[in-house]
Amino acid sequence: MTHTPVTPIEILLVEDNEPDVILTQEAFEDARIANNLHVTRDGVEAMAYLRRQPPFEHARTPDVVLLDINMPRKGGLEVLEEMKSDPALCHIPVVVLTTSQADEDILKSYQNHASSYIVKPVGFDNFYQAIRAFETYWLSFVRLPPR
């Protein structure tokens, strides 16, 4: 019997809050699914990454994007709208992961074709469990678009 190696899932985390970045990285390091987590710190950097513009010329297209809303330079809702308007990027699932509980942000996210909207739980353990639940659902059960 031959064993086929598993190709890691490519995840782009767009997050400006350093503690949330660290916690997300730790949660994905413990993941049961092979993954490569890449981080950009704001919306401008995220779009450069997605379009493979300098300094991201060798970036891999992510299988899924975890997107914060409230960021400097370009917010997450702008990134989402830009991604979903771009034929080269519109197929990438985007999960909004944010502290915002505002109905307006939730509605705008879904109007711009977010795949899910998750409010970041308060506290280390709760946040960690939310990332693990994301992993279980998105990386174990969901069939992602082909690369």
pLDDT of residue 15: 95
pLDDT of residue 27: 82
Q: In angstroms, rounded to a whole number, what is the distance separating the alpha carbons of residues 106 and 112? A: 10
Helix, strand, or coil here: 106? Answer: helix
Walk along the chain (147 residues) and give the pLDDT tens digit of each residue: 443 446 788 999 999 999 889 988 888 887 777 889 999 999 999 999 999 999 999 999 999 999 999 998 999 999 999 999 999 999 999 999 988 899 999 999 999 999 999 898 877 788 888 888 888 887 777 777 877
Helix, strand, or coil here: 82? Answer: helix
pLDDT of residue 6: 66
pLDDT of residue 130: 82
pLDDT of residue 3: 38
Whether pTM exceeds 0.85: yes
